Amino acid sequence: MISIIIPAYNEELRIEATVMDYHDFFFSKSDPFEIIVVSNNCSDKTPLIVAALSEKYPEIRLINIPEKIGKGGAVKEGILKARGDWVGFTDADNATKPKEFYKIFSAATKSQCIAMGSRAVKGAKVLRQPTYRKYLGRGFNAIVRFLFKLPFRDTQCGAKIFPKEAAAQVFKNVKSNGWEFDVELLYEAKKAGYKIVEVAVLWVDSGETKIKPMTIPHMFFGLIKMRLEKNKSGKKNDD
């Protein structure tokens, strides 16, 4: 069974459409599944909408966390409660459609490894993404590859799938909960020796982003801070 985790922060306008797209697609497949929506610090009707869906469809579950724990914290909470042999997460904006997520799942199960969606490898296609976001993403990933020696072309695509045992080992070492969560997650997975494959996906920009211009310097210095912290923890382990 695959557990699909969707972290959600004030997503009342699109959460039902996203959840039902995933539900209907996976229901049409032979693979057993569950969808876990982790409502985090929502001040809108997101948890009420998902709760209503969970009463109608047994495959849909709600975890409602009133306090702010960020995307990373929400995904971790979903991982802890997941029942599947495979666990994955995707964004509430449905930028990675269910068909594309299933491609990632198929790659993971075929190779028995971690698989991640990518907007930057051969065969990938991105729709409706503003030019500035495209170049921002390229620059961000170049910095990530330089600082963390990660070979991946796109660390920030919101769709990733893990074998349950790999998730249990990797997530316990991930401390960040914000935008840098994906970088640390992949760093720890690679450090632990897990095979990770990038899967080309069709990705549709939702037109909304929580990244503001003033966030960019914070992101850059956040990466440097994380790199220094990883160096420090590595030296402690050597001692």
CATH number of 2-238: 3.90.550.10
Q: Is residue 210's pLDDT more than 60?
A: no
What are the phi and psi torsion angles at 94 (to 5°)?
Answer: 65, 30
Q: pLDDT for 45-77, tens place per residue?
A: 999 999 999 999 999 999 999 999 999 999 999
E-only strand ranges, the chain: 2-8, 33-40, 60-65, 86-89, 114-118, 125-127, 160-163, 196-200, 202-204
Q: CA-CA distance, 49 to 69, in Å (whole number)?
A: 20
| Domain chopping of the chain, boundaries | 2-238
Across all residues in the chain, what is the average pLDDT? 92
Q: How confident is the model at residue 214 (pLDDT cuts 50, 70, 90)?
A: low
Q: Is residue 213's pLDDT more than 60?
A: no
Q: pLDDT for 2-18, tens place per residue?
A: 999 999 999 999 999 99
The stretch 29-45 carries a mean pLDDT of 96
pLDDT score, position 219: 79
Taking the whole predicted model, whether its pTM rises above 0.85 is answered as: yes
Using DSSP's 3-state secondary structure scheme, residue 117 falls into strand
User: Sign of the C-alpha dihedral, residues 72, 199, 227, 139?
Assistant: negative
DSSP string, 29-75: SSS-EEEEEEEES--SSHHHHHHHHHHH-TTEEEEEE-S--HHHHHH
Q: How confident is the model at residue 209 (pLDDT cuts 50, 70, 90)?
A: low
Instruction: Supply angle C-alpha 41, 164, 206, rounded to 5.
Output: 45
